[in-house]
Structure 1
Amino acid sequence: MQMDYYIIWLIIMVICLVVEALTMGLATIWFAAGAFVAMILSLLGVPIGIQIAVFLVVSIACLIYIYPLVKNIIRPGKEKTNYEAVINKIGIVTGTIDNMKAQGQVKVNGQIWSAKAIDNIVIEEGNEVMIQEVIGVKLMVKEIQQGEE
């Protein structure tokens, strides 16, 4: 008795697509593609063993080769956090930076940050500084000399 395996492949494909639609994780869509190819083979009368093998090969190949490409299109790069976004930016000293007195503030990207001078000098309010790194919640800055930018 010939079983209609294409119905099973159709059900597998639909289940995979529904799960993908609910999770949006780019995990089951590849198995839906494999089930689709296996369903076509079933309709062409290819033996079930070959259908299963093709299902696995297509699904795994899609997962390995297509997933990274699609992931980069759908989720390009990661958003920089506040501290990553300020490194190598220019800021304005809003409160004199004096490491000995543990004081200093810099405004960069519209935000006020606590700051320390990387070379241990006093940097007066109003001067421009380059953010070198972030340690904890403090910016480590270097004063920009006139014409240096």
Structure 2
Amino acid sequence: MDIDAWVWWLIGAVALGIPLVVTAMPEFGMFAAGAVAGAIAAALGGGIVIQVLVFVLVSVAGIAVVRPLAARQRAQRPHLASGIDALKGRQAVVVARVDASGEGRVKLAGEIWSARSLDAEQTFEPGQSVDVVDIDGATAVVM
């Protein structure tokens, strides 16, 4: 039983697809695509040198195109703030007079927080909207 060269290339493509799925490394996908291209070259009657050249060219071209696209996509991911970082920059409503002493209270994200003024000379009265500049321990620093 003699197996044609294109079948071997397809077996190689499947073998390269397995680590692609396991490791999620797109390079293996490009090598698998190169192996499929090698199978097509073999099915069209190309010699072994042509098959290997097609495999290498398609694999390298795929990596050269996909790697910069993947890096650009990774760099464009939005930064998702969580915890106290998500509270910075939000607005709060003063519940109890806020000054630099830290004894004031604001309603921030549906919760009552202790608060102090960023500027020592500035005070805020109940009902006023303030911006949260920072979170210092369990105290919102507002302005």
Fold match, TM over 0.5? yes
Unaligned runs of at least 5 residues, structure 1: 143-149
Q: How does 1:58-73 map to 2 (within 5 A)?
A: 58-66=58-66, 68=69, 72=73
Per-residue deviation at 1:131?
3.0
Is 1:119 aligned to residue 119 of structure 2? yes
Per-residue deviation at 1:13?
1.1
CA distance 1:114–1:42, shift in 2 (3 Å): farther
- Which residue of 1 is the match for residue 77 of structure 2? 77
Give the whole-Å Cα distance in 1 for the aligned partners of 2:133 and 2:15.
Answer: 51
Per-residue deviation at 1:17?
2.0
Bigger radius of gyration among the two: 2
SS at match of 2:124: coil
- Which residue of 1 is the match for residue 33 of structure 2? 33
Residues 1-38 of structure 1, C-alpha deviations (whole Å, 9 max, x = no match):
xx843233212211222222333444422222121112
Unaligned runs of at least 5 residues, structure 2: none
SS at match of 1:130: strand
The one-letter code sitting in structure 2 at the alignment partner of 1:32 is A
SS at match of 2:89: coil
Residues 17-76 of structure 1, C-alpha deviations (whole Å, 9 max, x = no match):
22223334444222221211121112122233333333233223323323526x84xxx7
Q: How large is the Cα RMSD of the aligned pairs?
A: 3.8
Per-residue deviation at 1:140?
4.2
Whether the 8 Å CA contact 2:100–2:118 is kept in 1: the answer is no
Per-residue deviation at 1:135?
6.8
With the length of structure 2 as denominator, give the TM-score of the two structures: 0.63
Give the whole-Å Cα distance in 1 for the aligned partners of 2:100 and 2:107.
Answer: 17
SS at match of 1:131: strand
With the length of structure 1 as denominator, give the TM-score of the two structures: 0.61
Give the whole-Å Cα distance in 2 for the aligned partners of 1:12 and 1:111.
Answer: 59
Whether the 8 Å CA contact 2:91–2:131 is kept in 1: the answer is yes
